[in-house]
Amino acid sequence: MGKRMIMNAFDMNGAMHNSHGLWKHPDSERHRYTELSYWAEMARLLERGKFDALFLADVVGIYDVYKQSREPAIRDAVQVPLNDPALIVPAMAAVTEHLSFAVTVTTTYEHPYAHARRFTTLDHLTNGRIAWNIVTSYLPNAALNHGLAKMIRHDDRYELADEFLEVAYKLWEGSWEEGAVVRDAGRGVYTEPGKVHQIDHEGRFFRVPGPHLSEPSPQRTPVLYQAGSSDRGRDFAAKHAECVFVGGNSKASIKSAIDDIRNKAERLGRDPQSIKMLTGLNAIVGSTRAEAENKLKAYAALWSGEAALAQFGGSSGYDLSAYAPDEYLAYKATDHGQSRAAQFTKQVQNRLTVREVIERIGTLDSRQGRLLTGTPADIADAMQEQLEETGLDGFNLAHLITPGSLREFVDHVVPELQRRGIYQKDYEPGTMREKLFGSGNRLLPEHHPASQYRRALS
Amino acid sequence: MGKRMIMNAFDMNGAMHNSHGLWKHPDSERHRYTELSYWAEMARLLERGKFDALFLADVVGIYDVYKQSREPAIRDAVQVPLNDPALIVPAMAAVTEHLSFAVTVTTTYEHPYAHARRFTTLDHLTNGRIAWNIVTSYLPNAALNHGLAKMIRHDDRYELADEFLEVAYKLWEGSWEEGAVVRDAGRGVYTEPGKVHQIDHEGRFFRVPGPHLSEPSPQRTPVLYQAGSSDRGRDFAAKHAECVFVGGNSKASIKSAIDDIRNKAERLGRDPQSIKMLTGLNAIVGSTRAEAENKLKAYAALWSGEAALAQFGGSSGYDLSAYAPDEYLAYKATDHGQSRAAQFTKQVQNRLTVREVIERIGTLDSRQGRLLTGTPADIADAMQEQLEETGLDGFNLAHLITPGSLREFVDHVVPELQRRGIYQKDYEPGTMREKLFGSGNRLLPEHHPASQYRRALS
């Protein structure tokens, strides 16, 4: 097998992720998201399909920018109701052996000391099958709910995130030496006190003496995911991330983002090829193209444009209800973030009217590039082409209906990809990091900035 | 069956809880605490024994008061290494049907908005089998690790906890009306926006507009546990708690604490008998008394006095290494808390020398009252007597070695208690609150202060 394709399922622990309005489809089982059995079945399905991981997105607030109201989001379940993503992982880990889990946690509203223990715990319980998707949170409502009068500005959130990572690295990499836990009954020593160190972190945002409360887990630092698409976000990804979720509506824009992040990483002394690049994907599979197109039509009929605009409003900061339809959209910097949604407004500014933007965002079949419709061979062709032309390493597969969209992908597209020799037929042994980067790569490599904290502590 | 005995297992997600030094026992499997299978086996064992719940204690710092050093605690695994308690619950819930889980979370270092979502998520995933043990954290190291220059004073921590609960009640009880989620595909309404409310909390410590991110879970507010033993702590328990973990080294002191909390609750308009009172228990079971005594001797030989003193130091604020052995211990108020350990110093002040105190704390067989050793009938007698003479409703059963201590209790003491008609032979249906308080009691009762937030919001 040449370069194998990495495959994640892209989901959220809530009533709906990004398949706007499709909770209405009779085959959707999504309302079962509150049940452990739903997630156990999902995990087994993905492991049967040899997926690398289930990627769980998260937000910690309501989408209330569009129409300056939370009503559109609540009515159509736009990422609300939404439960905590970390808590479904242990039950899924218990019924799988190889599937990994990427869990989103914000650095803006959590504390690194408690956070570090949560992820060490997850890494222990999953035997090293855990990743952390680092976000800085774009929703204004999230800031308010955490007691802030207004959002921390975008670039300042990244300053804070940088220091949060520094604290976490010190706890994960520098506090407990390898071999600290000896369980020597003869000497009465469970842990060698001399091998557990304070971290004595004192920074601009955090003061954490340590030591870490948990003993080292298989990977110590979880595999680090990030999805920064702004310039500052890409700097952050280039410094920290092992897997980057890259946006872009065309192969050219994806390639440009990938090249930029790899260049930045190289300038920071990291191996640029060691960063795995993933992009979003939706697939509608039919045994014939006509069958797939008919499914698309059925989905499009249930699609909710209002939900899509609510999601766009929260993630970009643009309330598209506040513009005249014939107005050309002009880019403005907002503190909401430089998300894919915000990037999109940059690309179309002064070129599309608000009416055209709304049509583009609010309809399902306008999602070109990221929505593949056709036979398994069609879909495999398009995926393969994307990988070859962009430098991508793989995909985050979203769903239209769940678990149906994932099941048809596992049953029909995965075998096609396997026949082509670009998709794993069996899992590699070891932790998530070893599965992604090869045997022996249980820990972060020496060229990663976290490694400096390993021996620097006394 | 008359008044049935409530039974919890009392544990922690770490290498050791309170069985100081007994990790050295060859039958201890405790080092497997990092494995999901360990906890799944534990949950199945407890469900076989018809336990009400597994009670998971927690601390978020190191015990470093004794000898002004963290070394004794680290060497003997005194609640370090320690992992997050909430994350083992979903995997245990998946392999049980009735067992409940009481999870400790501090109000001092978490944020109520994120916390409320975590517990709603747990309540969903467990089908309403979740309790929250509310603590305010007594370890100075925990304060430092969360960026505080010094601990928040004991009584101020309770002020903060009171407001934390108010925010949480508003989110759990007042944000989403019953029937808000309709999933009406015809009208395209997943949730009725008019039935999801902001909470607009503005207080001394928190400002949280809401709404809650999660839809209501079976119990809405988890069953509330508390273990306050100071006067302020008892006020807090009387106001909020549904189950109180009562300290005391004698039946008289337990009865006095129970009477005090019930009186306080009554003055606040609550039904005093609706608060379930539990106390700690250790049991060493033999088919004969001699066999049990021999087990005790084996445990005592492995017991670690240093570990016990390290634990006492952190939980009381008294560094017993800093006194002359012949000095009489004098009570002093500390910010560490009014824990059972601190209470103990109050009881023995000016009566025992420090040497005597150290002997009392540091040896296993001095733990009279809370350590029962004998045949199943002996242990059942003593438990029954405690319940009859104190007003207790049940016990938190700790272990000496695990899972051995629990297994012998389940296999031998539980059947004895069942024969006596004071222990359930089968679980009641429903949520944890219904199992504790009877059918129909899915939600907090009207006389609980949380109920005022139900309709007060617009």
Mutation test of the interface with chain B: which of A28, A74, A160, choosing the one with the most B Cβ atoms within 10 A?
A: A74
pLDDT at B296: 95
pLDDT at A55 over 60: yes
| Contact (CB<8Å) A209/B141 | yes
**Contacts with B91 from chain A: Cβ below 8 Å:** 90-91, 93-94, 125
Which neighbouring-strand residues pair with A14? A82
pLDDT at A402 over 80: yes
Q: What are phi and psi of A100, to 5 degrees?
A: -100, 170
Mutation test of the interface with chain A: which of B13, B101, B145, choosing the one with the most A Cβ atoms within 10 A?
A: B145
The DSSP bridge pattern shows strands B276-285 and B394-397 to be parallel
**What angle, rounded to 10 degrees, do the helices at B154-169 and B231-240 form?**
10
With vertex at residue A428, the alpha carbon angle to CA A425 and CA A434, rounded to the nearest 5 degrees, is: 140
* CA-to-CA dists, residue B129 to A281, B91, B106, B305, B436, angstroms: 37, 13, 20, 37, 11
pLDDT at A339: 64
Mutation test of the interface with chain A: which of B127, B213, B401, choosing the one with the most A Cβ atoms within 10 A?
A: B213
Query: A386: pLDDT confidence band, cut at 50, 70 and 90?
Result: very high
pLDDT at B336: 58
pLDDT at B6: 98
**Contacts with B314 from chain A: Cβ below 8 Å:** none
Per DSSP, B411 falls in state: I
Q: How would you class B396 by CB atoms within 10 Å of its CB: exposed for 0-12, middle for 13-18, buried for 19 or more?
A: buried
Output helix, strand, coil percentages for chain B, rounded to the nearest 5.
Answer: 45, 15, 40
Q: DSSP letters of A390-425?
A: H---EEEE--SSTTHHHHHIIIIIHHHHHHTT-S-S
Q: Which two tokens mark A306?
A: 């209002």
pLDDT at A315: 86
| Contact (CB<8Å) B91/A94 | yes
CA atoms within 13 A on the CB side of B78: 29
Residue B212 CA to residue A146 CA, distance in Å, equals 12
Q: DSSP letters of A159-194?
A: HHHHHHHHHHHIIIIISB-TT-EEEETTTTEEE-GG
Tell me the three state secondary structure of residue A109.
coil
Predicted complex ipTM: 0.96
**Contacts with B89 from chain A: Cβ below 8 Å:** 87, 90
Output helix, strand, coil percentages for chain A, rounded to the nearest 5.
Answer: 45, 15, 40
Residue A260 CA to residue A254 CA, distance in Å, equals 10
**Contacts with A89 from chain B: Cβ below 8 Å:** 87, 90
**Contacts with A167 from chain B: Cβ below 8 Å:** none
Nearest to B19 by CA among B342, B329, B281: B281
Q: Does A108 touch chain B (CB under 8 A)?
A: no
Q: Which of residues 334-373 of B touch A (CB under 8 A)?
A: none
pLDDT at A245 over 60: yes
With vertex at residue A226, the alpha carbon angle to CA A222 and CA A228, rounded to the nearest 5 degrees, is: 160
Q: Does B187 touch chain A (CB under 8 A)?
A: no
Tell me the three state secondary structure of residue A435.
helix
Whether A320 and A309 have beta carbons less than 8 Å apart is answered as yes
Shortest CA gap B166–chain A (Å)? 14
Element (H, E) at B131: strand B130-135
Whether A292 and A286 have beta carbons less than 8 Å apart is answered as yes
Residue B366 CA to residue B269 CA, distance in Å, equals 40
Nearest to B75 among A71, A114, A189 (CB): A189
pLDDT at A19 over 90: yes
Nearest to B86 among A24, A87, A185 (CB): A87
Each residue's pLDDT tens digit, B387-404: 999 999 999 999 999 999
Question: Scanning the structure block, which residue is given the tokens 């501090």?
Answer: B106
* CA-to-CA dists, residue A231 to A158, A238, A273, A318, angstroms: 11, 10, 20, 20
Each residue's pLDDT tens digit, A427-458: 999 999 999 999 999 999 999 999 999 965 44
* CA-to-CA dists, residue A370 to A206, A248, A355, B257, angstroms: 40, 9, 22, 64
Residue A281 CA to residue B266 CA, distance in Å, equals 60
Name all domains of chain B by residue range, CATH numbers in brackets. Answer: 6-285+371-450 (3.20.20.30)
Element (H, E) at B105: strand B100-106
Tell me which chain B residue has its CA closest to the CA of residue A195. B74
Q: Which of residues 126-165 of B touch A (CB under 8 A)?
A: 141, 144-147
**Contacts with B191 from chain A: Cβ below 8 Å:** 15, 74-75, 77, 80-81
**Contacts with A114 from chain B: Cβ below 8 Å:** 60, 84, 109-110, 146
Tell me which chain B residue has its CA closest to the CA of residue A78. B190
Out of A45-59, A304-318, B293-307, B347-361, which region has the weakest mean confidence (pLDDT)? B347-361
Tell me which chain B residue has its CA closest to the CA of residue A87. B87
Residue A455 CA to residue A246 CA, distance in Å, equals 33
Residue A70 CA to residue A73 CA, distance in Å, equals 6
Mark the ranges of chain B whose per-residue pLDDT is less than 50: 457-458
Query: A249: pLDDT confidence band, cut at 50, 70 and 90?
Result: confident
Q: Which two tokens mark B36?
A: 């999901």
| Contact (CB<8Å) A34/B125 | yes
| Contact (CB<8Å) A122/B87 | yes
Whether A63 and A310 have beta carbons less than 8 Å apart is answered as yes
Tell me the three state secondary structure of residue B126.
coil
| Contact (CB<8Å) A124/B83 | yes
pLDDT at B458: 44
Q: Which two tokens mark A259?
A: 């090249």
Each residue's pLDDT tens digit, B78-117: 999 999 999 999 999 999 999 999 999 999 999 999 999 9
Q: DSSP letters of A277-315?
A: EEEEEEEEE-SSHHHHHHHHHHHHHH--HHHHHHHHHHH
Q: Does B35 touch chain A (CB under 8 A)?
A: yes
Mutation test of the interface with chain B: which of A213, A220, A431, choosing the one with the most B Cβ atoms within 10 A?
A: A213
Which neighbouring-strand residues pair with A276? A243
pLDDT at A63: 94
Question: Scanning the structure block, which residue is given the tokens 């970390």?
Answer: A86
CA torsion sign for A66, A67, A70, A75 is negative
pLDDT at A270 over 90: yes
Residue A92 CA to residue A129 CA, distance in Å, equals 11
**Contacts with A31 from chain B: Cβ below 8 Å:** 183
Element (H, E) at A106: strand A100-106
Nearest to A36 among B88, B94, B144 (CB): B94
Whether B11 and B402 have beta carbons less than 8 Å apart is answered as yes
Q: Does B170 touch chain A (CB under 8 A)?
A: no
The reply to whether the predicted model has a pTM over 0.95 is yes
Shortest CA gap A351–chain B (Å)? 33
| Contact (CB<8Å) B40/A94 | yes
Residue A252 CA to residue A338 CA, distance in Å, equals 19
Q: Which two tokens mark B246?
A: 């009562």
Whether B106 and B86 have beta carbons less than 8 Å apart is answered as no
Peptide bond into A216 cis (omega under 30): no
Q: Does B193 touch chain A (CB under 8 A)?
A: yes
Q: Which of residues 54-83 of B touch A (CB under 8 A)?
A: 60-62, 70-71, 74-77, 80-83
Residue count of chain B: 458
pLDDT at B339: 64
Per DSSP, B106 falls in state: E
Q: Which of residues 403-432 of A touch B (CB under 8 A)?
A: none
| A–B interface: beta-carbon pairs under 8 A | 217
**Contacts with A217 from chain B: Cβ below 8 Å:** 34
**Contacts with A91 from chain B: Cβ below 8 Å:** 90-91, 93-94, 125
Shortest CA gap B330–chain A (Å)? 31
Mean local confidence (pLDDT), A29-49: 98
Q: Which two tokens mark A169?
A: 């690295």
Per DSSP, A14 falls in state: B
Residue A350 CA to residue A334 CA, distance in Å, equals 17
